[in-house]
Amino acid sequence: MKEKTILKLKLNTDPRWVDIASKNIEDILVDHAWCEQKAASTGISMIIHYPEKTRLVDELTLLVAEEWGHFERVLDELRKRGFALGRPRRDEYVVQLLAHVRKGGARERQLLDQLLVSALIEARSCERFKLLWKHIPDPGLSQFYYELMVSEAGHFVSYVDLAKEYCADYDVDARLQELLKIEGDIVTNLPVRDDRMH
């Protein structure tokens, strides 16, 4: 998978991340579980805020079910290793991205930003899952992250397609480029941590 082509990310993850993450798998799995829970919650929130948008409700209903299934699968991986879920952690990457969702103005503009920020989170998760798939020494976890990598790539595409359902293609493409630059800057400035998926 060519991330910069399919996912359009401006910056690849620091290669040191996968090395330190694979040595701290308990914290990575705990953080990953909460990322999946938050992804499901985000989908539910958009359904609540935009119930009149039928395609959005239908597609996000399926996406929420899939994200919750991922949450359950990560819990299984934790339990196999004798680990508990642990408490949720502040995801500084997501917090900084969400700060760029524009407030006020037309509802469609806010929806556009929400969908595209969600798309970028899925894209970055996909890129990280690919690193784990290729480099983590545990064969079971490697296969697990391959399967989730494919799923997250699909979620990225779904969020961008939904944005183009409700906003002009030109506006979506232009705003996506702006947010990709912002996302790359956030990744550049965040420290490389061994206990975070992002």
Ordered per-residue pLDDT tens for the chain, 198 residues: 344 445 678 888 887 788 888 888 899 999 999 999 999 999 999 999 999 999 999 999 999 999 999 999 999 999 999 999 988 888 999 999 999 999 887 889 999 999 999 999 999 999 989 888 988 888 889 999 999 999 998 999 999 999 999 999 999 999 999 999 999 999 989 887 777 778
Residue from 2, 70, 11 nearest 41 by CA:
70
pLDDT in tens, 61-96: 999 999 999 999 999 999 999 999 988 888 999 999
Whether this prediction's pTM lies above 0.85 is answered by yes
Q: Could you tell me the domains of the chain?
A: 24-189 (1.20.1260.10)
